[in-house]
């Protein structure tokens, strides 16, 4: 690492950005600029309206050559936003990009001290001093390029995951689609019709499911969960647990030497199985056996044994006969695959709305959830599409739809956010009701109708025209008539200013949605953060809604926040495109923030070796001494080893001890030298 600029006295150029009035409105730019001139090592202090604009960047590029700068400091927004921009500019100017340092005077200054001009300006001065101090000590660094595995993984095979997998695969990337349930399709396959076009959900989803099943680039793994994730962008090693499903696919059968065998979905086994359990796909409203499929259109069409309830009677094995598809002794298997990038599309579940006890779900027979309603009205559902009252099997004529059931709720019991699709599907439900049951009447109890998508307001208009009654009032409580079991909905019609008591045959709660129980587990595996409300956190809500802070990991669908099918599919396509970029480029640059051992100082104590979460460190013999050695490919640059080494023998590139100490000194001693 012979570096001619190193021996040179540092020459730092400082640029202060106004960001229109974003910064200049709260910080005295002139005062800051004057101050910058006095900071040691600063040879030039300039300011500009918008530093990230082309002329702004040009200033940097030109000055590097003109003034022989060895370091650049831009005082502007957060480095999380524009560090890459200015690194590129520095590079364009002929300076190593890692000699650039940013002083955050917007997000962490002008925007949070809007009414304290002096305080903000003083703070900006310190930030500048600190940044210059660091820039004076920065070194040339050279990012390592690593090749990217030409394959991707999609976790979760709802409509989001399906779309992402199809897009990735169609762009020529080998894609592993991982689904924990025995079939793909997710929530969408449980729906009857979809707003606002009223397409049959299965009809538009099934072709995609079939495509997944036969796409040459997709390796579909159902009844499978992610067990372990190692590595980094370009080179993830992901261990999968293939849960024992007790039934062999034809291919699996063949590898066991059973020619022409394996499950063909005939269902003979199901006929004979004596164990009856509720089918979760039908929201528990229909039975299934211990050996089961969710519904006739499952992909792949392979039965599954629920070993928690199977009594191992062996009747199914007998029924299956020559196909020899059933193996009741099967055990979980683990496989490890290597992928370049991954998309998480793990979806959502309903908020347990029984927690809002005032609505009596699970206490009153005729109060159901929206997903139960979807199954009831669906022709392939448990009643063959006949909507019935759970209490007596009668056809309900008056149905109430309770919107925001558990959403927009700050009591700590419900969810503070809007669940975003319940307004629209409740409109849809009202339509379906009117269509299916002549003479029926729907009542929608709502606070606001949020119909903000394309053709959504028009749909609202249509449903109003079809005769749905809208009552603007959040439901205070539901009471059951102890004799007829009719639910009474009590609320205030806030537009009338009058309390209402509406007796209905059935009530459907448009329950809030929430992240699934396992979401937290999955995000820990992939190192993805969560937002306050538990949904997976995108890298930037507007500018990087599919990315995460972990390079190479992307998000699609409701797991990132409530969204309907159009938005889910759009995001899935975005995530797939983003996930395919590094793969198509073929290599990625890793930030060169590796640890390095300063061998003269290393005592060989080995403490750092155990601290590294990625086992990047080893003790080795060198010139008769035991010293630590870093495997750069494994090091992710967290600096934990460097923070700990008692002898100060670890050099953390770009966050080296002298660089940080210089920042501390600049802040606290700066003025007193």
Q: Which of residues 47-76 bind ligand SF4 (CB under 6 A)?
A: 50-52, 76
Residue closer to ligand SF4 (CB basis): 244 or 272? 272
Establish if 622 lies at the interface with ligand SF4 (CB under 6 A).
no
Q: Burial letters for 132-151: b for 16+ Cβ neighbours within 10 Å, e otherwise? A: bbbbbbbbbbeeeebebbeb
The 8-class DSSP code of residue 9 comes to P
**Which residue do the tokens 């499978």 mark?**
224
**Residue 304 corresponds to which tokens in the numbers above?**
């599954």
* Sequence-ordered strand ranges (E) for 474-616: 477-480, 487-493, 498-503, 506-511, 513-515, 553-555, 587-590, 595-597
Task: State the binding partner of 381 from another protein, ligand SF4, ligand FAD, none, CB within 5 to 8 A by kind.
Answer: none
Task: State the binding partner of 295 from ligand SF4, ligand FAD, another protein, none, CB within 5 to 8 A by kind.
Answer: none
Q: Strand 199-200 relative to strand 304-305: parallel, antiparallel, unpaired? A: unpaired
Instruction: Single out the segment in contact with ligand SF4 by CB under 6 A; choices: 252-260, 306-314, 380-388, 570-578.
Output: 306-314
Binding mask 271-290 for ligand SF4 (x = CB under 6 A): -xxxx-------------xx
Q: Which residues contact 438 (CB under 8 A, 6 or more apart)?
A: none
List 144, 386, 408, 469, residue binding another protein (CB under 8 A): 408
List 52, 577, 603, 638, residue binding another protein (CB under 8 A): 638
Name the β-bridge partners of 48.
17
List 190, 407, 548, 580, residue binding ligand SF4 (CB under 6 A): 407
Instruction: Answer whether 132's CB lies under 8 Å from 12's CB.
Output: yes
Within 560-599, which residues bind ligand SF4 (CB under 6 A)? 595, 597
Task: State the binding partner of 50 from ligand SF4, another protein, ligand FAD, none, CB within 5 to 8 A by kind.
Answer: ligand SF4
Within 141-200, which residues bind another protein (CB under 8 A)? none
Establish if 426 lies at the interface with another protein (CB under 8 A).
no
Task: State the binding partner of 267 from another protein, ligand FAD, ligand SF4, none, CB within 5 to 8 A by kind.
Answer: ligand SF4
The 8-class DSSP code of residue 547 comes to B
* Peptide bond connecting 424 to the previous residue in cis, omega within 30 degrees of 0: no
List 605, 622, 660, 667, residue binding ligand SF4 (CB under 6 A): 605
Task: State the binding partner of 403 from ligand FAD, ligand SF4, another protein, none, CB within 5 to 8 A by kind.
Answer: ligand SF4
Establish if 311 lies at the interface with ligand SF4 (CB under 6 A).
yes
CA quadruple 270, 274, 277, 282: dihedral sign: positive
Give dist(CA 15, CA 142) in Å, integer. 24
In the complex, the smallest distance separating the C-beta of residue 166 from another protein, rounded to whole angstroms, is 31
In the complex, the smallest distance separating the C-beta of residue 502 from ligand FAD, rounded to whole angstroms, is 22
Residue closer to ligand FAD (CB basis): 455 or 661? 455
Q: Which residues contact 109 (CB under 8 A, 6 or more apart)?
A: 23, 26, 27, 120, 123, 124, 127
A 10 A CB-CB count for 195 gives 26
Residues near ligand FAD (CB under 6 A) = 155-161, 178-181, 186-188, 191, 194-195, 225-226, 345-348, 370-371, 374, 421, 425, 428, 516, 518, 522, 542, 557-558, 563-566, 568
Instruction: Single out the segment in contact with another protein by CB under 8 A; choices: 139-147, 201-209, 215-223, 483-491.
Output: 483-491
Residue 621 exposed, middle or buried by CB count within 10 Å (0-12, 13-18, 19+): exposed
Which phi and psi angles does 536 have, rounded to 5°? -70, 145
Task: State the binding partner of 558 from ligand FAD, another protein, ligand SF4, none, CB within 5 to 8 A by kind.
Answer: ligand FAD
Please give the size of the binding site for another protein, defined by CB under 8 A: 87
Instruction: Answer whether 504's CB lies under 8 Å from 484's CB.
Output: no
Which phi and psi angles does 551 have, rounded to 5°? -55, 135
Instruction: Answer whether 306's CB lies under 8 Å from 330's CB.
Output: no
Establish if 100 lies at the interface with ligand SF4 (CB under 6 A).
no
Residue closer to ligand SF4 (CB basis): 73 or 162? 73
Give dist(CA 473, CA 245) in Å, integer. 48
Give dist(CA 316, CA 322) in Å, integer. 12
Establish if 258 lies at the interface with ligand SF4 (CB under 6 A).
no
In the complex, the smallest distance separating the C-beta of residue 81 from another protein, rounded to whole angstroms, is 8
Establish if 485 lies at the interface with another protein (CB under 8 A).
no
Residue closer to ligand FAD (CB basis): 173 or 298? 298
Name the β-bridge partners of 489.
478, 502
In the complex, the smallest distance separating the C-beta of residue 393 from another protein, rounded to whole angstroms, is 23
Instruction: Answer whether 655's CB lies under 8 Å from 639's CB.
Output: yes
In the complex, the smallest distance separating the C-beta of residue 348 from ligand FAD, rounded to whole angstroms, is 5
Binding mask 77-116 for another protein (x = CB under 8 A): -xxxx----------------------x-xxxx-xxxxxx
By beta carbon distance, the residue nearest ligand FAD is 158
Task: State the binding partner of 518 from another protein, ligand SF4, ligand FAD, none, CB within 5 to 8 A by kind.
Answer: ligand FAD
In the complex, the smallest distance separating the C-beta of residue 599 from ligand SF4, rounded to whole angstroms, is 9
> In the 3-class helix/strand/coil scheme, how is 501-523 assigned residue by residue?
EEECCEEEEEECEEECCCHHHHH
Residue closer to ligand SF4 (CB basis): 152 or 630? 630
In the complex, the smallest distance separating the C-beta of residue 274 from ligand SF4, rounded to whole angstroms, is 6
In the complex, the smallest distance separating the C-beta of residue 560 from ligand FAD, rounded to whole angstroms, is 8
Report how far Cα 555 is from the mean position of its chain's Cα atoms.
4
- Please spell the DSSP secondary structure of 392-433, one letter per residue: T-PPPSEEEEEEEESSS--SSSS-SS--SSHHHHHHHHHHHH
Percent helix, strand, coil in the chain (nearest 5)?
35, 25, 40
Establish if 448 lies at the interface with ligand SF4 (CB under 6 A).
yes
Helix axes 29-38, 117-137, angle to 10 degrees: 30
Task: State the binding partner of 409 from ligand SF4, ligand FAD, another protein, none, CB within 5 to 8 A by kind.
Answer: another protein
Helix axes 159-170, 201-214, angle to 10 degrees: 40
Residue closer to ligand SF4 (CB basis): 459 or 554? 459
In the complex, the smallest distance separating the C-beta of residue 566 from ligand FAD, rounded to whole angstroms, is 6
* Peptide bond connecting 196 to the previous residue in cis, omega within 30 degrees of 0: yes
Within 238-257, which residues bind ligand SF4 (CB under 6 A)? 247
């Amino acid at each position: 690492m012979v570096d001619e600029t190193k021996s040179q006295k540092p020459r730092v150029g400082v640029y202060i950005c106004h960001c229109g009035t974003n910064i200049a409105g709260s910080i005295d730019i002139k005062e800051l600029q004057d101050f910058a001139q006095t900071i040691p090592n600063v040879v030039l202090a300039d300011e500009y309206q918008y530093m990230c604009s082309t002329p702004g960047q040009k200033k940097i590029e030109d000055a590097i050559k003109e003034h022989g700068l060895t370091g650049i400091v831009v005082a502007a927004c957060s480095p999380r936003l524009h560090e890459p921009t200015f690194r590129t500019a520095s590079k364009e100017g002929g300076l190593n990009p890692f000699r650039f340092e940013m002083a955050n005077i917007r997000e962490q200054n002008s925007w949070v001290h809007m009414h304290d001009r002096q305080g903000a300006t003083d703070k900006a001065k310190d930030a500048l001093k600190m940044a210059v101090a660091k820039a004076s000590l920065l070194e040339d660094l050279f990012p390592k390029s690593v090749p990217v595995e030409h394959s991707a993984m999609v976790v979760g095979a709802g409509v989001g995951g399906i779309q992402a997998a199809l897009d990735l695969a169609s762009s020529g990337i080998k894609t592993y689609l991982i689904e924990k349930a025995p079939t793909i399709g997710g929530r969408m396959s449980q729906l009857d019709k979809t707003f606002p076009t009223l397409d049959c959900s299965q009809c538009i989803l099934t072709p995609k499911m079939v495509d997944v099943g036969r796409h040459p680039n997709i390796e579909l793994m159902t009844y499978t969960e992610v067990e372990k994730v190692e590595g980094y962008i370009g080179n993830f090693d992901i261990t999968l647990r293939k849960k024992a499903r007790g039934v062999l696919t034809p291919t699996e059968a063949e590898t066991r030497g059973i020619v022409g065998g394996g499950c063909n979905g005939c269902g003979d086994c199901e006929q004979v199985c004596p164990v009856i359990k509720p089918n979760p796909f039908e929201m528990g409203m229909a039975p299934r056996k211990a050996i089961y499929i969710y519904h006739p259109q499952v992909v792949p069409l392979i039965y599954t044994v629920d070993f928690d309830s199977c009594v191992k009677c062996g009747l199914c094995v007998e029924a299956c006969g020559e196909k020899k598809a059933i193996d009741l002794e099967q055990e979980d298997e683990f496989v490890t695959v290597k992928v370049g990038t991954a998309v998480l599309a793990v979806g959502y579940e309903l908020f347990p709305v029984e927690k809002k006890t005032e609505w009596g779900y699970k206490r009153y027979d005729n109060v159901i959830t929206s997903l139960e309603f979807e199954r009831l009205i669906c022709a392939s559902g448990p009643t063959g599409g006949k909507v019935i009252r759970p209490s007596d099997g009668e056809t309900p004529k008056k149905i109430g739809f309770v919107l925001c059931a558990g959403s927009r709720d700050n009591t700590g019991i419900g969810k503070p956010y809007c669940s975003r699709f319940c307004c629209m599907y409740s409109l849809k439900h009202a339509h379906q009701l009117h269509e299916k049951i002549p003479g029926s009447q729907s009542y929608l109890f709502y606070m606001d109708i949020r119909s903000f998508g394309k053709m959504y307001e028009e749909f609202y208009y249509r449903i109003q025209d079809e005769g749905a009654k809208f009552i603007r009032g959040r439901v205070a409580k539901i009471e059951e008539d102890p004799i007829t079991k009719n639910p009474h909905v009590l609320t205030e019609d806030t537009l009338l200013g009058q309390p209402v008591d509406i007796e209905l045959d059935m009530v459907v709660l448009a329950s809030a949605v929430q992240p699934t129980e396992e979401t937290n587990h999955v995000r820990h595996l992939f190192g993805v953060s969560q937002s306050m409300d538990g949904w997976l956190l995108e890298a930037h809500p507007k500018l990087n809604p599919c990315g995460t802070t972990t390079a190479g990991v992307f998000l699609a669908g409701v797991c990132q926040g409530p969204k309907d099918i159009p938005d889910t599919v759009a995001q899935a396509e975005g995530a797939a495109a983003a996930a395919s970029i590094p793969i198509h480029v073929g290599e990625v640059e890793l930030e060169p923030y590796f640890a390095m051992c300063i061998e003269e100082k290393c005592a060989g104590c080995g403490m750092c070796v155990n601290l590294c979460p990625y086992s990047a460190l080893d003790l080795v013999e060198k010139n008769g001494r035991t010293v630590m050695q870093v495997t750069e490919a494994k090091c992710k640059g967290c600096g934990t080893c460097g923070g700990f080494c008692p002898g100060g023998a670890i050099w953390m590139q770009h966050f080296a001890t002298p660089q940080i100490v210089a920042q501390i000194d600049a802040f606290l001693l700066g003025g007193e030298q």
